[in-house]
Amino acid sequence: MVNLLTVSPAYGRDYRSAKDAMADWKAGKDFKAESMKVHGYLSARDTEALKADGFTDIMIRYSNLRRGTLFKI
């Protein structure tokens, strides 16, 4: 079963490509959670806690939130 968490770049950042968004995720930059279960800011450093909460996938929104890239955690 897929349990998806959608996040958006924090602090006014945005990306032109999925590659740029993933690079910042892997670099540990902050993203804002868009979920009823998770509130606030998180980063790749929180991956183990997200897995423990049952999340299996993350969608990073980019390009003014019009696009997204999905990956397994």
Alpha-carbon Rg for the chain in angstroms = 11
pLDDT tens digits, residue range 11-70?
A: 999 999 999 999 999 999 999 998 888 889 999 999 999 999 999 999 999 999 999 999
Q: What is the pLDDT of residue 62?
A: 97
42 vs 29: CA distance, rounded Å:
8
Tell whether the model's pLDDT for residue 2 goes beyond 80.
no
Q: Could you tell me the pTM of the whole model?
A: 0.91
Q: Under 8 Å CB-to-CB from 4, ≥6 apart: which residues?
A: 55, 56, 57, 58, 59, 70
In the chain, domain spans: 4-72
Tell whether the model's pLDDT for residue 1 goes beyond 80.
no
Please answer whether residues 41 and 67 qualify as being in contact, where contact means their C-beta atoms are separated by less than 8 angstroms: no
Please answer whether residues 4 and 58 qualify as being in contact, where contact means their C-beta atoms are separated by less than 8 angstroms: yes
